[in-house]
């Protein structure tokens, strides 16, 4: 297994119903370098569902990682191999999702309580692929949130071959809070993530949780190897226009919002010919003009019309007149 080193790395968090292939392509139009993650895909869906569709992505998305949900080492090993063969650059194991659905399926945040099982899962994946195997985790669950428990988890899982941990700086409540509340209610403890980096200097540690500006991201990079941002980027994707120059010293001219839209329209045309639904692609554009005059009219027009039967990319050309 090869290790992915991440100094200066900025990435987009895996978000259910958000970071599908269409949004990832939109993000890549704006930033050439940000590291992308898929939505979490459970092993059962890959093994028994439409794996070709679940693994589909545009080559320009790379570097891109697939996040898996599961707790069966053999199934995860097989799925990791499928991910690698599909051309992804990394496979990530979800140990952070706190929803009741994942709890019932015995994966996600509840696995923080089973470091030996997680280590077994990671070891099985590492054995089966040459791309990096990484883990995304919380700092704790329920009242079991001591630093010693987190450090023991990372120690066990890193020994199995994981060299990069994405740490959401909140614990998760497995009962009583919705996934949305779990992103907002438990207090952020960035110092805990910083301490992990100090105690495990040979590991790459990426911090996640509550980071809403590129300036905040840069400040975190003084203490960790990388930063992962989520909802803010999805709601305001053009924030990515400052990534390449600000984090990767790439000063190539950044596309304007209109140029981004024009490029994405070409992508939509291609995907429509393959049978993808227009609204599944257009919905990711709602925040493209965030903060610009006419943004509210843009959002309203799209929201009211993208689900209509028979609409296609021409609707986007009409909608942009709300901005012009």
Selection from 73, 163, 168, 171 nearest residue 113 by Cα = 171
CA 171 to chain centre: 18
**Residue recorded with tokens 């941002």:** 229
Give the helix/strand (H/E) hosting 198. Answer: helix 190-199
User: CA 121, CA 203: separation in Å to the nearest integer?
Assistant: 19
DSSP string, 108-174: GGGGGG-HHHHHHHHHHHHHH-SS-EEEEEES-BTTB--HHHHHHHHHHHHHTT--EEEEESS-B-S
Cβ-contact 45, 54 below 8 angstroms: yes
In whole angstroms, what separates CA 83 from the centre of its chain? 15
Which residue is catalytic, options 18, 97, 110, 162?
Answer: 97
297 CB burial (10 A radius; 0-12, 13-18, 19+)? middle
Is residue 167 within 8 Å of 137, Cβ to Cβ?
yes
Give yes or no: 97 in active site. Answer: yes
- Neighbour tally for 290: CB within 10 Å: 16
Identify the three-state secondary structure at position 229. Answer: strand
Residues 143, 186: contact at Cβ < 8 Å? no
HSE-CB of 153 using CA atoms within 13 angstroms: 28
Nearest to 31 by CA among 263, 267, 284, 242: 242
The residues carrying an active-site annotation are 97
């Amino acid at each position: 297994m090869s290790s992915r080193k991440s100094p200066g790395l900025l990435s987009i968090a895996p978000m259910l119903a958000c970071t599908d292939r269409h949004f990832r392509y939109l993000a890549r139009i704006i930033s050439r370098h940000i590291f992308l993650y898929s939505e979490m895909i459970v092993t059962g869906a890959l093994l028994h569902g439409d794996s070709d569709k679940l693994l589909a992505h545009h080559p320009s998305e790379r570097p891109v990682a697939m996040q898996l949900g599961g707790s069966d080492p053999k199934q995860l090993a097989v799925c990791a191999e499928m991910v690698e063969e599909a051309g992804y650059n990394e496979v990530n194991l979800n140990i952070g999702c706190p929803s009741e659905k994942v709890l019932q399926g015995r994966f996600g945040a509840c696995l923080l309580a089973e470091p030996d099982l997680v280590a077994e899962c990671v070891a099985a994946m590492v054995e089966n692929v040459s791309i990096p195997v990484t883990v995304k985790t919380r700092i704790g669950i329920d009242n079991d949130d001591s630093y010693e428990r987190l450090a023991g988890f990372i120690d066990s899982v890193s020994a199995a071959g994981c060299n990069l941990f994405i740490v959401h700086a909140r614990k998760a409540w497995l009962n009583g809070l919705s996934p949305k509340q779990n992103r907002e209610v438990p207090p952020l403890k960035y110092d805990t993530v910083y301490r992990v980096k100090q105690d495990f200097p040979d590991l790459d540690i990426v911090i996640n949780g509550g980071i809403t500006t590129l300036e905040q991201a840069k400040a975190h990079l003084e203490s960790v190897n990388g930063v992962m941002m989520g909802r803010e980027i999805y709601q305001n994707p053009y924030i990515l226009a400052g990534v390449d120059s600000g984090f990767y010293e790439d000063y190539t001219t950044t596309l304007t919002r209109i140029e981004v839209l024009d490029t994405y329209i070409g992508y939509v045309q291609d995907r429509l010919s393959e049978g993808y639904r227009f609204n599944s692609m257009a919905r990711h554009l709602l925040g493209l003009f965030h903060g610009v005059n006419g943004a509210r009219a843009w959002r309203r027009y799209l929201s009211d019309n993208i689900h209509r039967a028979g609409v296609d990319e021409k609707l986007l050309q009409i909608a942009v007149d709300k901005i012009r």
